[in-house]
Amino acid sequence: MTLDQGLAFGLMGVTIALFLWGRFAYDAVALGALLAGVLIGVVPTDKVFEGFADDVVVIVAAALVISHAVAKSGAVEVIMRPLVPHLQGAALQVPVLAGCTMLLAMVTKNVGALAIMMPVALQLARRTGTPAAAMLMPMSFAAMVGGVVTLVGTAPNIIMSRVRGELTGEAFRMFDYAPVGLGVCLVTLGFLAVGWRLLPGGRKGAASMEAAFQIGEYTIEARVPREGDAVGMTVAGLEALAEGQVQVSAILPAKGTGPATGELGSGVAPITAAPSADRQLEAGEGLLLRGEPEELERLVARAGLALDEDRAVPDDPETDADDQRVVEGVVTGESPLVGRTPAALTLRSRHGVSLLAVSRRGRGQIRESLSQLRLRAGDVVLLRGLAATMPDNLGELRVLPLAERGMALGRGRRSWIPLGVLAGAMVLVAFGALPVGVAFFGAVVALLALRVMTTREAYEAVDWPVVVLLAALIPVSGAIQHTGGTDLLAGWLTAVLQGLPGMVALGVTMVLAMAVTPFLNNAATVLVMGPIAATLAKQLGLSPDPFLMAVALGAASDFLTPIGHQCNTLVMGPGGYRFGDYARLGLPLSVLVVLAGVPLIAFFWPLAPG
C-alpha cells in the first residue's frame, strides 16, 4: 500500500466514521472531507469543484423540482379519485397504494413519488380507520424498488451510470435498468401485499407542529365561473365532490345584482339559512364554503371555482403571483379590523392584502360575504399579499402570524402540465434526443416559464444537503480510484472469492452494498463501491456490468433502518414507527431482493465478458 493509498483510505475511513457517529450533518462531513482531501494531496486542486459541475448533481436536483411540481399539481389525486372509494380495508389498500407509488417512482424520483402519494394514504387512513402504519412503510419500500427501474428513479442509478461511463466509456441509458428492476418490482409487490401483516399493530403517527396549530374549519368565498363544470351542479353534488369534507354555508347573488357597498363584496345582507341540497348553482353566484384549508383547495380545483380574491394586488401593475405569500394569523384585540369589515377598511387598496378565508370559534356559521363580515378579536384569517411587504402589513393590522405552515389555499391551481413536461423529458431521453441532465434541466425551465411553480418553490424543493453531499463526495471517492485504492481492495476481495462461482461473487457484491448503505448513504455507497465492484469483476475475468448493476440495486434497497434512505425517514413520524420496525418488514424483503435480483442480473447482463 502506497502513502497516497493509505491517506485516501484513511480519509474515507474517517468520513464513514463521522457518518456513522451522526453528530454532524452529512453535507458538512462531505465538505470537510473534500477540504481535507485537498490539504493532504489526494484530491488534485483542479478537481476540487468537479462534483458541483457533474451531471449527477443537476439530474438529482431537477428530479426533485419536477417531483414537487407534480405533487403540487394534484394530477395524481385526480387519477386516484375513482379508486379511493373502493379501497376498503388494508388488504386492498396496501397493494394498490404500494403499486401506484411504485409506478410513479419509475418516472420521477422515488422520494418525490412517495411524497405525492402519502396524502392519499393519510386521507384513506382517516376515512376508513386503517392504521397509517399499515400503508406507509410498504409504500416507502415500493418507492425505493420502483426507483430502480429507470435511470432517474433513484440517485444510485444516476450515479452508477456516471461510474460506468468513466470506467467503460458508455454510461447506462434510461431504461437499461428496466429488465432487472421490473422483475424485482413484481416480487416486491407480491411480498408487500401480504407482508404488511408483519408490522406491529397499534402504531400511531407522531403529532406534528402543524397539528398543534390545527385551527379547524375556515370559511372562504368562491365564485361560479360563467363557463365551468359547476354551473348547473346542485349543492349536494358540489359537496359530494369534497366527499362530505366541505359544506356550502350560503349562496350569494352574482356581483352586480345587489347593492354594492365596498370594493370587495357584493353587499348582500346576511343569510340565515343554509341552501337546500337540490339547489342548482348559477353562473356568477358566490359560494361560502366551510372546511379544512386542504379540502377547500381540493374542492375549488375539482369544481373549477374561483376564489373571490384570486388576483394580484390591483395598485401594483407589476405584481407577479410569484411575489405573493399567504399568511395565517390571529386578529388581536388592538387590531383596526375588530368591528369593521374588509370593504370598509379597503384592505386591498390601503394595506395591499386580500382576505381569503376566516375561521371563527363560537355559535353559528358565517353566512355573509367576507367583504361585509365584521371581524372579531380572536378570528383566524388567511391574508394574501406581497411577500416583501407582508410583515409590515401584519404589523399595521395588528394581526399575529401563526407558526408558518404550507397553506395551498389561494396559491396554486391543479393542472396536467407537470406530468406533460415530465413525459416530454422522458421521451426525449428515451429516444436519445437529449442527455438526461439537459432534458431534466430543460423540464425545470419549462415549468418555471409556464408558471407552474415559482422560483422560490423550485429552490425550496431541492434537498440541498443531498446535492452538496454528492458534489463533495464525487472527488473524494475519486481519490481512492486515482491512487489505485480500488485495485487494492478488489484484489483482497478477489483473494476471498477466487474459485467461487460468479453468481456467488455477484451476490456477495449486492449484499455488501446493502449492508453498507444504511450506515453510509446510498449515493456514497455507489461512489465508493462502484469502481471496486468493476475492478473485482475484471480481476475475476467477468464482465463489470452485472457487478455495477448489483451495487446499484443493493444501494437502492435500504429496507433495514429509518436513516439510510429519505423515503424511510419520511414515513417514520406519520407512521409512528420505531427503529426496529423496519427490519421486521425489511429483512425478509432484502432476502427476496437478493434471491430475485442476482439471477435476474445474471440473465439480462451475462457474467461472461462480451
How is 435-459 classified by DSSP, letter by letter? Answer: -HHHHHHHHHHHHHHTTSS-HHHHH
User: Does residue 265 surpass a pLDDT of 50?
Assistant: no
Q: How many CB atoms lie within 10 A of CB 237?
A: 15
For 311-362, the pLDDT digits (tens) are 444 445 455 555 677 788 889 988 888 988 888 777 877 877 888 888 887 6
In which region does residue 541 sit, left (phi positive, over 0), alpha (psi from -120 to 50) or beta (all else)?
left
What are the backbone angles phi and psi of residue 364, rounded to the nearest 5°?
80, 160
259 SS3 class: coil
Q: Give residue 591's Cα distance to chain centre.
A: 28
Q: How far apart are the first and last CA of the chain?
A: 32
**Between β-strands 324-331 and 380-386, what pairing exists: parallel, antiparallel or unpaired?**
antiparallel
Q: So what's the pLDDT on residue 366?
A: 82
Rounded distance, CA 176 to CA 494, Å? 27
Distance of CA 401 to the CA centre of its chain: 26
pLDDT value at position 600?
A: 96
208 pLDDT above the threshold of 70 = no
Over residues 23-42, the pLDDT tens digits come to 788 788 889 989 999 999 88
Predicted pLDDT of residue 326: 79
Residue 290 above 80 pLDDT? yes
More confident residue, 213 or 409: 409
Average pLDDT, stretch 139-143?
Answer: 93
Triad 193, 198, 202: Cα angle to 5°: 110
Pick 477 or 45 by higher pLDDT: 45
- Asked if residues 409 and 372 have their Cβ atoms less than 8 Å apart, the reply is no
The grid cell for 443 is: 423540464
**What integer best gives the mean pLDDT of the chain?**
80
Range with top average pLDDT, 221-235, 316-330, 513-527: 221-235
Q: Read off the pLDDT of each residue in 62-81 and give the average, rounded to a whole number.
A: 74
Tens of pLDDT, residues 453-486: 888 888 888 878 878 877 887 788 777 767 877 6
Q: Output 523 or 419, whichever has higher pLDDT.
A: 419
Q: Which DSSP state fits 280? A: B
Confidence of residue 202 (pLDDT cuts 50, 70, 90): low
pLDDT for 408: 54
